[in-house]
Structure 1
Amino acid sequence: MADMFQAELAALVQSGKKVLVATVNPEGPEFSGRNMANGNAVGTVTPIKRSVFRQTFASVISILERAVANAQATLVDFSDNQCYQDLCQVVSMAEGVPVYKDKYHMRPYYLVNGSL
């Protein structure tokens, strides 16, 4: 499957298209608002380490990033801006609200206004 993905990317690049591919962003239950507040209880808002996330999912991330590089497409890593000095905040430091609307999807407002 990775070979097919790489071939499709390469075909687009060779046709003269500018191809941008987003890599895997830090995600997971830590980013879910339900982990942060549950009734009257306040949960954890501890940032996660980007390096630990990338190591945990290295097998998937490396396949994706290798295919993008081999196809000469452009890799976009949103965590370059989402994380600072290896820490990925689960709550926006500017607005004080969760970065993600669920475990996997960033809030539109954060993308426009809150990322570093």
Structure 2
Amino acid sequence: MSASNHKDTYQATGVFLVLMGILYLLDKWIGFSSHGLPWVMQKDTMLLYAAVIFLWFKSDKSVGIILAGIWLIQNIGLVIALLGQMSAYLLPLALLLVGVILYFISSR
């Protein structure tokens, strides 16, 4: 592991922790739930925050992709509901596409 890899991991972790601290303080002061925003402080939403931050700050995108994948699996009902009838076709196509991409990347 190179030194820059550690640096961007620490940077992404630091940004995530600062964001969580700010969100917790704001939640204590104003209460997201009382303003109709209970999803801001849900555990799965925090996982999404981490995924986005790691995708943004780390040069190696694998951690961010894994976190986003875990979020997607936990919220598959939401994704299917948002896609509606299209989900019957998009989900299998997305799985096929991701599988093919991963296969070709691994066979290089």
TM-score by length of 2: 0.27
Q: Larger relative CO (CA 8 A, sep 6+): 1 or 2?
A: 1
> Higher helix proportion, which one?
2
> Higher strand proportion, which one?
1
